[in-house]
Structure 1
Amino acid sequence: MNHTLWIVAALLAAVALAGGATKTFVPIRTLAAAPGGQWTGHTHPAVVRTLGVLELLAAVGLILPAVLDIAPVLVPVTALCWVLLMLGAMATHYRYRESLPIALNSLYLVLAGLLVWGRFGPYAF
Structure 2
Amino acid sequence: MNIAYWIVAGLLALFYFYSGTLKVSRSRDQLRPMMAWVDRVPLPALRVLGTVEILGATGLVLPPLTGIAPSLTPAAAIGFVLLQAGAIAVHLTGEDRRIVLNVGLTATAAVTIRLATRL
Q: Does 1:119 align with 2:94?
A: no
CA distance in structure 1 between the partners assigned to 2:37 and 2:45 by the alignment? 11
Per the alignment, residue 4 of structure 2 pairs with 4
- Structure 2 matches for 1:14-53, cutoff 5 A? 14-32=14-32, 34-35=33-34, 37-53=35-51
Measure, in 1, the Cα distance between the counterparts of 2:91 and 2:97. Answer: 7
Aligned to 2:77: 79
Q: Over the residues paired in the alignment, what is the CA RMSD in angstroms? A: 1.3
How far apart, CA to CA, are the structure 2 residues paired with 1:12 and 1:98? 23
Deviation for aligned residue 1:54: 0.4
Q: CA deviation at 1:99?
A: 3.9
| Normalised TM-score (structure 2) | 0.93
- Segments of 4+ in structure 1 off by > 4 A? none
- Partner amino acid for 1:14? L
Q: Provide TM-score, normalisation by structure 1.
A: 0.88
Higher mean C-alpha deviation, range 84-93 or range 37-46? 37-46
* Equivalent pair of 2:36/2:96 in contact (CA under 8 Å): no
Identity of aligned residues (%): 34
Which structure 1 segments of 5+ residues have no match?
A: none
